[in-house]
């Protein structure tokens, strides 16, 4: 009687479960479903991230290497089905290009100028922020503002500050606030960034801008580091009559060294990738009027090459990568000796 | 160096002004710590013992009162000018320096005429390292040391500048039980060898009892009793002190005095000459019980802990205020098979009476 009333699915379930309840099958299922899954589940969880990284990071890297090694590669030719020869012509073309040395010089100069200055200032400001009690929250917010502001927008503001528009008259039509201040102190107007301006004046403008732009992130990291230092070290130092300078050099700096190393290394990496800040201040021409590309950088070079010669751009990108790699390795080597984790 | 605390008071202002409720951490602390002694500040958490220590160190300023080192008033002096050595609870060893650099650090801070030549600094560092027995570990970093070794380095760093007073904040609380026993002996030995007046803070009464020359028992910022450990144990001035000292802790009962006789639960247990008739708290030390068929105190046995040297009988009594009645009797004494009840006579000098409202000790002639 009961047999009749059981539905088809129930019968199916019974037969299936009978089948799987046999020991061999059970063992097999456990193996497949459980152990195998256990072994590979890490990969399954990682899959979404891995797929995205493959598409947007790993594949482009290999593609860059491929393009850089194909003579005269451009996507237009590739679409037309042109066969490229294998060779290092792209690299030699980059190195022979007369603007490339200028790009390299500007990049290195700006990095070497801005990283020490911004790190030092950030440390100074972080220590000050850490020691004041009143308004520290408000000041922290203010110091963090540049970080959340668009660098092109900041660039335009900086351009306005340093700019000067010469009319036909005895005095310029428009004078930026920097020159107004200089005048107030009895100095003469300086042509910071307009036609005919000096290279060093341009570099000065960019240094100020990049340092200012780099400060908030560095302050944030260093302030976090300072706040995580156990206060008892300072109390112990106080009991031992440690002079303030010695507390700073022998306790604060060593305990902060991991953060300092991080800030310096990322600063160098960021410095070598400088581009948008110069476009922000000087515009697409990357230099004052009449002296285009005077402040061209590595990334600027790569960016323009992408337009018509991807092979050259890829080669330049790999050269930049090699430079950053070497500099970072030197950084890590030095910091390993000086850092106390 | 004698340390004298006069009317020392520390009041922490309340964080929320509207809610009020400032905290009196230390209230009118008066005590003179004799020269060259090891003094334990003992009390439960939040009793103000650490605050007192930090006021002596100068890291915290007293709200009122004075601190003297010898005859010198140091109340207004900053920590670095007091000539103290301080060992923090978690040692606060500089993690990036070796043991040697840690110990040398206070000496390298000396300026002007106190400045020492390099050789002397090293010599002093090695001498103090030998004293605390870490001279083998001088080139290690703190992270490569065990807790006990770190503790010694911290003590060495505090001792190397030859402080007038050595202060230890919960010196043993970060160590495991075995190491704690070793280290407290070590602290005792180092203190005796150097003869530096030492003040340490602890919440562990056993620790305080075992190594201190003098104990100060504190509760809620108020000093309860000061004296030699044994003296406080034998003669507590109030119920709190009686309960705080001793392992196993003192047994407390509701009792009543009638006609100079103490009754617990209606049974006469002890004659207490000179006490007027009233209800009292009765504290009886575990070693104050004598199993005796003629004894007045009848307890219901719930278990026996054999500890080798002696036996601890756990029992119940309807008037008890502690979770159980625990007596320690000679190992020779054995309970009969199936014995459910035990009668005790009491040792009069192990029985303390306390007033029910003030919890102050009521003395009786023995």
- Residue A325 sits in a domain whose CATH number is 1.10.3720.10
CB-based contacts of B160, cutoff 8 Å, min separation 6: B103, B104, B106, B107, B124, B125, B128
Encode pLDDT of B109-119 as tens digits.
Answer: 888 778 889 99
What does the pLDDT read at residue A1? Answer: 44
CA–CA min distance B173, chain A (Å): 17
Q: Tell whether the model's pLDDT for residue B331 goes beyond 50.
A: yes
Answer yes or no: do B92 and A233 touch at CB < 8 A. Answer: yes
- Give yes or no for residue B69 having a pLDDT over 50: yes
The per-residue pLDDT for A109 is 95
- A-B CB pairs within 8 A amount to 58
Residues A246 and A192 placed together within one structural domain of the fold: yes
Q: What dihedral angle (degrees, nearest 10) is formed by the CA atoms of A139, A140, A141, A146?
A: 100
Residue A255 domain-assigned (yes or no): yes
Q: Please give the pLDDT value at position A125.
A: 92
Residue A230 and residue B84: Cβ atoms within 8 Å?
no
Please provide residue B32's backbone torsions phi and psi, each rounded to the nearest 5 degrees.
-115, 120
Name the residue of chain B whose CA is nearest to A240's CA.
B106
pLDDT in 10s for each residue of chain A, 341 residues: 445 566 777 777 777 777 666 666 666 666 666 666 777 888 889 999 999 999 999 999 999 999 999 998 888 888 888 888 898 999 999 999 888 999 999 999 999 999 999 999 999 999 988 888 788 788 888 888 888 888 888 888 988 999 888 777 777 788 889 999 998 998 888 888 888 888 999 999 999 999 998 999 999 999 999 988 888 899 999 888 888 899 999 999 999 999 999 999 999 999 999 998 899 899 888 988 888 899 999 999 999 998 888 999 999 999 999 999 999 999 999 888 877 76
Same domain, A107 and A58: no
**Does pLDDT of B271 surpass 70?**
yes
Q: Do A246 and B109 touch (CB under 8 A)?
A: yes
The pLDDT assigned to A24 comes to 60
Q: Kindly write down the DSSP assignment for every residue of A12-33, as one continuous string.
A: HHHHHHHHHHSHHHHHHHIIII
Residue at A213 is within a domain: yes
Q: Where in the sequence is the domain holding A38, given as residue range(s)?
A: 8-68
pLDDT value at position A30? 65
Instruction: Judge whether A73 lies within some domain.
Output: no
Which pLDDT score, from 0 to 100, does residue A26 have?
62
CB–CB contact A238 B80 (8 Å) = yes
Same domain, A160 and A24: no
Q: Which residue of B has its CA nearest to A253?
A: B96
Q: Are residues A63 and A100 in the same domain?
A: no
Q: Are residues A140 and A287 in the same domain?
A: yes
Inspect the interface and report whether the beta carbons of A241 and B81 lie closer than 8 Å.
Answer: yes
* Residue B124 touches partner A, C-beta closer than 8 Å: no
- pLDDT score recorded for residue A60: 94
SS3 A332: helix
Residue A189 and residue A286 in one domain: yes
pLDDT of B47 over the 80 cut: yes
Would you say residue A296 lies in a domain? yes
Test A250 with B105 for CB contact under 8 angstroms.
yes
pLDDT for residue A20: 63
Kindly report the nearest CA distance between residue B15 and chain A, in angstroms.
Answer: 15
Residue B142, SS3 per DSSP:
helix
Q: What pLDDT, on the 0 to 100 scale, is given for residue A8?
A: 78
pLDDT for position A341? 67
Average pLDDT, chain B: 89
Residues 82-121 of B with CB under 8 A from A: 84-86, 88, 90, 92, 94-97, 105-106, 108-111
One domain for residues A15 and A130: no
Please indicate, yes or no, whether residues A162 and A284 belong to a single structural domain of this protein. yes
For residue A75, tell me if it sits in a domain. Answer: no
Same domain as A117, residue A27 = no
Q: Is A85 part of any domain?
A: no
Does the residue A81 lie in any domain?
Answer: no
| B306-321 per-position pLDDT tens digit | 877 788 889 999 889 9
**Burial environment of residue B197 by CB neighbours within 10 A (0 to 12, 13 to 18, 19 or more):** buried
pLDDT at residue B20 tops 70: no
Interface mutation vs chain A, best among B74, B83, B96, most A CBs within 10 Å: B96
pTM of the model: 0.76
Residues A59 and A104 grouped into a single domain: no
Whether residue A45 sits in one domain with residue A155? no
Cβ A238–B88 below 8 Å, yes or no?
A: no
Beta bridge partners of B200: B40, B168
In a domain, A78, yes or no: no
Question: Using CB atoms, which residue from B88, B96, B108 is nearest to A236?
Answer: B88
Mean pLDDT value of segment B51-58: 92
Cα B199 from Cα B150, distance rounded (Å): 19
ipTM: 0.80
If one counts the domains in chain A, the total is 2
Asked if residue A102 and residue A64 are part of one domain, the reply reads no
């Amino acid at each position: 009687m009961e047999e009749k009333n059981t539905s088809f699915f129930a019968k199916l379930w019974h037969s299936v479960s009978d089948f799987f309840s046999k020991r061999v099958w059970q063992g097999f299922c456990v193996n497949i479903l459980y152990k195998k899954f256990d072994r590979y589940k890490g990969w399954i969880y990682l899959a979404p991230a891995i797929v995205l990284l493959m598409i947007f990071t790993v594949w482009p890297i290999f593609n860059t290497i491929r393009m850089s090694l194909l003579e005269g590669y451009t996507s237009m030719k590739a679409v037309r089905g042109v066969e490229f020869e294998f060779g290092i012509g792209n690299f030699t073309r980059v190195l022979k290009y007369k603007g490339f040395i200028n790009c390299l010089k500007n990049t290195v100069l700006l990095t070497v100028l801005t990283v020490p200055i911004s790190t030092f200032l950030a440390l100074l400001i972080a220590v000050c922020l850490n020691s004041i009690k009143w308004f520290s929250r408000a000041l922290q917010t203010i110091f963090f503002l540049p970080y959340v502001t668009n660098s092109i927008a900041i660039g335009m503001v900086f351009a306005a500050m340093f700019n000067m528009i010469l009319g036909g008259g005895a005095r310029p039509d428009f004078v930026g606030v920097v020159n107004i201040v200089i005048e107030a102190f009895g100095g003469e107007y300086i042509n910071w960034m307009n036609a005919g301006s000096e290279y060093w004046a341009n570099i000065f403008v960019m240094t100020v801008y990049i340092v200012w732009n780099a400060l908030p992130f560095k302050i944030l990291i260093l302030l976090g580091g300072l706040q995580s230092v156990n206060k008892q070290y300072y109390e112990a130092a106080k009991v031992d009559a440690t002079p303030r300078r010695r507390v700073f050099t022998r306790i604060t700096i060593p305990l902060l060294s991991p953060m300092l190393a991080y800030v310096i290394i990322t600063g160098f990496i960021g410095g070598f990738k400088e581009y948008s800040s110069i476009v922000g201040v000087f515009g697409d021409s990357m230099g004052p009027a009449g002296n285009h590309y005077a402040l061209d950088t590595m990334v600027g070079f790569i960016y323009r090459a992408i337009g018509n010669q991807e092979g050259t751009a890829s080669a330049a990108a790999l050269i930049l990568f090699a430079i950053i790699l070497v500099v970072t390795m030197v950084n890590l080597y030095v910091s390993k000796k000086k850092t106390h984790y | 160096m004698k340390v004298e605390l006069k009317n020392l008071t520390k009041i922490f202002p309340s964080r929320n002004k509207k809610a009020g409720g400032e905290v009196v951490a230390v209230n009118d602390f008066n005590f003179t710590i004799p020269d060259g002694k090891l003094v334990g500040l003992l009390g439960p958490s939040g009793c103000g013992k650490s605050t007192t220590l930090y006021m002596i160190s100068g890291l915290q300023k007293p709200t009122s009162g004075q601190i003297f080192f010898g005859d010198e008033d140091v109340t207004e002096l900053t920590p670095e000018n007091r000539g103290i050595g301080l060992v923090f609870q978690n040692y606060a060893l500089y993690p990036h320096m070796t043991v040697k650099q840690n110990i040398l650090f206070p000496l390298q801070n000396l300026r002007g005429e106190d400045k020492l030549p390099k050789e002397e600094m090293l010599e002093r560092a090695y001498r103090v390292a030998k004293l605390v027995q870490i001279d083998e570990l001088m080139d290690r970093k703190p992270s490569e040391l065990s807790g006990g070794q770190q503790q010694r380095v911290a003590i060495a760093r505090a001792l190397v500048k030859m402080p007038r007073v050595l202060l230890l904040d919960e010196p043993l609380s970060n160590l495991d039980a075995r190491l704690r026993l070793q280290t407290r002996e070590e602290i005792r030995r180092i203190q005796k060898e150097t003869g530096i007046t030492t003040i340490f803070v602890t919440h562990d009464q056993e620790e305080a009892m075992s190594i201190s020359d003098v104990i100060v028992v504190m509760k809620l910022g108020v000093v309860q009793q000061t004296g030699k450990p044994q003296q406080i144990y034998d003669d507590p001035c109030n119920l709190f002190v009686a309960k705080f000292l001793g392992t196993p802790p003192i047994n407390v009962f509701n009792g009543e005095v009638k006609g100079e006789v103490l009754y617990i639960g209606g049974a006469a247990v002890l004659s207490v000459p000179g006490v007027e008739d009233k209800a009292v708290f009765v504290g009886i030390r575990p070693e104050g019980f004598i199993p005796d068929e003629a004894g007045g105190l009848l307890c219901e046995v719930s278990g026996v802990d054999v500890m080798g040297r002696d036996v601890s009988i756990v029992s119940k009594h309807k008037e008890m205020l502690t979770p159980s009645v625990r007596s320690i009797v000679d190992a020779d004494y054995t309970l009969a098979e199936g014995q459910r009840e035990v009668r005790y006579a009491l040792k009069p000098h192990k029985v303390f009476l306390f007033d029910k409202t003030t919890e102050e000790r009521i003395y009786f002639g023995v």
